[in-house]
Structure 1
Amino acid sequence: MKRIYLLFALLSPLLATAQSGKYRVYGKTDLPVDGKVRLHWYNINSGKHVDSATVTDGKFEFTGTMKEVEFGQLIFRSGSSDRSAVFYLEPGTIHVDIMAGTRYGKLSGTPLNNDYQQYYQMLDTMLTRINIGREGKRPYDQFSNDIPAEKLNILTQYIKTHKASKVSIDQLNMFAAKNPHPVALTALLGELSPALKKSEAGMALASRIKGMRSGKIGDMTLPFSLPDTAGRMVKLTDFRGKYVLLDFWATWCIPCIAEMPNVINAWNTYKNKNFTVVGVSLDRPDSKERWLKMIRESKYNWTQLSDLKFWNCEAALLYNVNSVPANFLIDPKGIIIATNLRGEALQKKLSEIFQ
């Protein structure tokens, strides 16, 4: 169940909506519960929030306030299994029933959760159908990466009758984060209401789709501007005329930190030979000080940029970056000549260029 929470944490900046208020979550289950039920939700500015409640006669309750609409997740242990239900944490009274023999929690009580329940019903019907005959194999679920056609079909059906629902744009963004299908996604985005297209989530999806169509070897780079460590806006085009390693990383990314000595070596070796590095960090607001400290103490002396939007960094969306470390080697004309060079591969490529 951890991957469910992490997925929504990654997308939180796009899922949030300016709609503050009080929430009340009424939960019900007919399953035995080991310990308490936990409520998890995440906000890009305030971080991770966790609450817990005791189950009495199969019922439990959470109350609180929120500044923005977020995804919430209920989690509890039942026997040898974890059970979970994902819903919209929005103002009002939210009902979540988690029953034995069901794949998802049953949602009701508030507008977005009523819409989400309809999506769950369509998803559940599809998964039941495609899992027939898979005895002995791991059943498909909503996070399976090898059923994109079935997921697209569900999204297409759902959006036809929910063109103005936030659920539609949220599900499109979740699908796009793992499935580079620019043609289909462009068509579905075009079906949404004008308000959803102009929303932060709609514009982010448009940027991600644009990135799916580019970012390959031979493509011209897409321009962007981000603040540096002093808050000054820096454009990628400011480095035109040089070879540039556009390096996506984050302070919380262990493989990124492990790769940094290699980047330092490349920087020190070729910085006086028409070469530079532009680092783009996928950090969050709550890790800004750690980002600045790591740059200073580890001597990452090249240009460092970040809008502190986590996975929804403007440049990451534009280059369709869904994992880090990731990099793009750009020639002086702004053309991508290599991607994801690590270790000896980076040194070899730079040696070939500057030989």
Structure 2
Amino acid sequence: MKNPFFTVLISLFSLSCFAQENIPFSINGKIGKYFPGEKLYLRYWAYWRDLGKNAIDSAIIKDGNFHFNGLMASPIQASVSRKNGEMVNVYLDSAVMISINDSLKYSKVTGSRINAELPTYESAMKPFKKRFDAAMKVFMDAPESKKTNAEFQDSLRKVAHENIDERIRLQKEFISHNTDNYFSFVAFREIIGGGRDTAIVGPLFRQLSTRLRGLSEAQYFREIFRIEKLTGIGRIAPEFRSEDPQGKHISLSDYRGKYILIDFWASWCGPCKDEMPNVVFAKKKFGQHGFDVLGVSLDKPVTRQNCIRAIGEWKMDWTTVYNLDDHISKIYGITSIPRNFLLDPKGKIIARDLRGEDLIIFLGKNINVKR
């Protein structure tokens, strides 16, 4: 059974391209006379590019002290816990000091700017946490028979969406008043998820301080803006030149004077295969009226025979070129497929990511079909 409050969307950014060099971190703890000889556990995400790989380390308390060290690609959330589940949350930074009296829960974390800034953010988010905890209690206290009830689950989803709206409102407010707090960047990243719409991402990003915008973790978003300058609506599509399966060199500029759909795909891409009949139909309907398609295959050399086979099986009666050395996909910022860009006869981008009927409708409004 799915818990509506545990449905988590994790956006896997292509951060491996931007990963900072491995940075050493250390945690030094003073625990006095408590828990002598006991083992403590450190849990954290190893690297952004390995999201989903939870790293676990352990240390034994000796003479009232414990110590952890390791490598990180950027500041990341972690926890130090006892075997009984008692824990303290920290952010791994270059150097962290944890002072413990009689309980991990009430530990004092010092030694890094990020951990000093965390309480301000936690305080700002208390109203959301209160609402979230209340909603979780409703779910947990409900009898098992009720948890499977569709009406009950719908009511929980409604509350969950309201809670998300409240979280975003509080996070936006926090950003506006704490532009140089590291957790403004954390809040920004949570608000936009994997979004690439610069109309949404841009204003929020620009509120952040120069220091935060310059973080290594922020390079993904800086890259979005760089690509948007090249491939945004109204821009002249960047030129490229590549080879088709027969070895013929093809340039985008060869298609000037036509409406051209640059279609990024691959033979191994299921959604591409599902979408291809719509592109085939568009070519058939508008191909005699100044419309054409230029496919860009992301197949690597080892799968190019599959690419050639797919061109025939999927009835792609237009030119396809290879994405040699990932050159074209880098220019256009392609991190997932299918993706497409529609150009007018002057080479200007007039639409992006048209799917299904949207492609046909858009072409119908812009191309004069002579009867």
TM over 0.5: yes
Looking at structure 2, the residues matched to 280 and 94 of structure 1 have their Cα atoms a distance apart, in angstroms, of 51
- Any idea what SS the aligned residue of 1:297 has? helix
Q: What percent identity do the matched residue pairs reach? A: 18
One-letter identity of the residue aligned with 2:175:
L
| Residues 262 and 296 in structure 2, CA contact (< 8 A), matched pair in contact too | yes
1:51 aligns with 2:55: yes
Q: Are 2:335 and 1:333 aligned?
A: no
Q: Distance in 2 between matches of 1:21 and 1:238?
A: 51
* Partner residue of 2:46 out of 34, 41, 58: 41
For structure 2, which runs of at least 5 residues remain unmatched after alignment? Answer: 1-5, 32-40, 139-155, 245-249, 312-318
Aligned to 2:171: 151
Residue type matched to 1:64 in 2? G
Give the alignment of 1:285-296 within 5 angstroms.
291-294=300-303, 296=305
> SS of the residue aligned with 1:328?
strand
- 1:190-209 equivalences under 5 Å are 192-193=209-210, 195-197=211-213, 204-205=220-221, 208=224
2:234 corresponds to 1:220: yes
Determine the structure 2 residue equivalent to 1:298: 307
Residue 242 of structure 1: CA displacement? 3.7
- The 5 Å alignment of 1:134-213 reads 137=156, 144=164, 148-159=168-179, 161-162=180-181, 165=182, 167-177=183-193, 182=199, 185-186=202-203, 189=206, 192-193=209-210, 195-197=211-213, 204-205=220-221, 208=224
Question: C-alpha separation between the residues in 2 aligned to 1:236 and 1:94?
Answer: 57
Q: Which moved more, 1:337-346 or 1:268-277?
A: 268-277
Tell me the equivalent position of 1:64.
70
- Over 3 Å counting, the alpha-carbon distance change for 1:277 and 1:54 in structure 2 is same
| Matched-pair contact (CA < 8 Å) for 2:264–2:296 | yes
Deviations 1:45-70 (A, max 9, x none): x786443457999xx9865334x326
Structure 2 letter corresponding to 1:220: G
After TM superposition, give the deviation of residue 297 of structure 1 in Å.
1.4
The SS at the match of 1:258 is helix
The verdict on how the C-alpha distance between 1:203 and 1:74 changes in structure 2, with shifts beyond 3 A counting, is closer
CA contact (8 A) 1:43 1:70 kept: no
Calculate the TM-score normalised by the size of structure 2.
0.53
Change (3 A) 1:11 1:238: same
Match of 1:276 among 290, 293, 313: 293
Q: Residues 39 and 200 of structure 1: is their aligned pair in 2 closer, same or farther, counting only changes over 3 Å?
A: closer
Q: Distance in 1 between matches of 2:120 and 2:251?
A: 41
Q: 1:37 to 1:65 in 2, by over 3 A?
A: closer
Q: How far apart, in 2, do the equivalents of 1:143 and 1:173 lie?
A: 17
What is the TM-score normalised by the length of structure 1?
Answer: 0.55
Contact (CA 8 Å) 2:283, 2:291: kept in 1 or not?
Answer: no
Is 2:78–2:89's contact at 8 Å kept on the other side of the alignment?
yes
Structure 2 CA distance for aligned equivalents of residues 75 and 91 of structure 1: 16
Q: Shift of residue 346 of structure 1? A: 4.1
The 3-state SS of whatever aligns with 1:221 is coil
- CA distance in structure 2 between the partners assigned to 1:96 and 1:153 by the alignment: 32
The counterpart of 2:13, out of the listed 10, 13, 25, is: 10
RMSD: 6.0
Amino acid aligned to 2:170: E
What is the Cα deviation at residue 304 of structure 1?
A: 4.8
| 2:170 partner SS | helix
Structure with larger Rg: 2
Measure how far apart 1:108 and its partner are.
Answer: 3.9
1:20 partnered with 2:28: no
Change (3 A) 1:132 1:18: closer
Q: Which amino acid aligns with 1:51?
A: A
The one-letter amino acid of 1:328's match is F
The residue number in structure 2 matching 1:245 is 261
Letter in 1 for 2:341: F
Matched, 1:114 2:115: yes
1:110 Cα deviation (Å)?
Answer: 5.5
Give the gaps of 5 or more residues in structure 1: 29-35, 282-289
How far apart in 2 are the matches of 1:146 and 1:213? 32
Contact kept in structure 2, 1:24 and 1:92, CA below 8 Å: yes
Letter in 2 for 1:342: R
1:127 is aligned to: 128
Q: Deviation per CA, 1:144-193, whole angstroms, max 9, x where unpaired?
A: 3575433211211221x53xx4x544543443446758489437625512
Opposite residue 46 of structure 2, the aligned amino acid is W
Q: Find the aligned partners of 2:162 and 2:107 in 1 and give their Cα distance.
A: 16
CA contact (8 A) 2:15 2:220 kept: no
Structure ranking higher in strand proportion:
1
